[in-house]
Amino acid sequence: MTGSAGMDRDLLLRLPKPELHVHLDGSIRPQTLLELAAEMGMELPSGTVDGLYETVYKETYEDLKDYLRSFRYSYLVMRDPESIERVSYELAVDNQREGVRYVEVRFAPQLHLGGGMDYIDVFGAVSRGMDRAKREFNRRPEVEGGSEPPFEYGIIACSLRYFDEELSDYHGSFLKLHRHTDPDTIFGLASLELVGAAARARDQYGLPVVGVDLAGAEAGYPAAHHREAFAKAQRCFLKKTVHAGEAYGPESIFQAITDLNADRIGHGTSLFNAGAVSDPTIKDREAYVEALAQYIADRRITVEVCLTSNMQITPSMEDLKDHPFGRMMEHRISVALCTDNRTVSRTTVTDELLRAVRTFRLDLEDLKNVLVYGFKRSFYPGRYSEKRSYVRKCIDHIEKLIEPVMGGGRGQRF
């Protein structure tokens, strides 16, 4: 990492980019939220876009729980196939407009069940919206002519570490149905059902459900409660990503890898935070986090880094320079820069890249590596040969755009 010469916003916009960690309900357009709420007769904290940014989608949040509260309005208005399809379509278009060529949209379908919709209906609505945007984009002459890579997408189903009866009608019914069962077991059962639905959506209905995720409160709700569900995901050949190290220490990251066989880690913000290690059996905390980082690097487990959202929910991180992204790069960890939530965090993939370039002084080689890691470590919904061909197209286009900036003969092919 030597500097950011030649990397302006225009170049970053034009570069083909992957987006591996973006939540659907955290990325709804504020105007769409206003319109859908009006159709439902639902009252919001404000009736204007500016007002929503003041009351719901704030610049800073107290903690992760405060951050997650901003989601409640979006999933309340996404309660029918038409609204879910609209929000999905708009998310795809918003990504396309800033050069994102591959996106994995994640969401908890449980939050949208009811009103005659089941899991398959929700997955299908998201797929229809994304697919409509994909068809429109890929009809562009430059895409059909092969001078630019096409737009592709996958769907990730999010399970929750914890939920209560007030979260949604589905969760209230699930808890009531299992009221004589230990809560930790209930959370695991809900994950098991979700994995079964995700596999069925892919295998019986041909929907591009590529993986499962575990999200929500980490502290007090360990990954082990969901071991059976993620073992089922493994048997069904679904890929696995896990929110870990976001609101709990490095042990949470280790649990995600060892208990759930995570292929990727969401956030991983506490990876190098030896002070956050709480296991009393770990005597040398500094050695532990270094060994964990080396383990992640060796196994090429990609960390989905979300700079802006991490800053918003981590009060102790006063300056972006304090973010562990820099140390991840120094340790040669496979990282992908992502938004987490475009609306809740008021950001785009281009914004995240620009912040990384300026703060951590990434050079063009660093930038290429981050983009390529994302494409290569995606859960692409196709055969490996198809993915390999697609990634090659994206890399070729990256190199074509970067070569003039690097100067004749200095670019390196991957």
Residue owning tokens 């991840």? 328
Q: 10 Å Cβ neighbour count for 38?
A: 13
Nearest to 196 by CA among 96, 129, 109: 109
Q: Which of 246, 251, 304, 352 is catalytic?
A: 246
Catalytic residue status for 246? yes
Contacts of 221 (CB under 8 A, 6+ apart): 161, 162, 184, 187
Sign of CA dihedral 332, 336, 341, 344: positive
Residue 170 near residue 119, CB atoms below 8 Å: no
Torsion angles phi and psi, residue 306, rounded to 5 = -125, 85
* Separation of alpha carbons 106 and 393, rounded Å: 25
Residue 373 near residue 303, CB atoms below 8 Å: no
364-376 and 384-406 are packed helices; what angle lies between their axes, rounded to 10 degrees?
170
Residues taking part in catalysis: 246
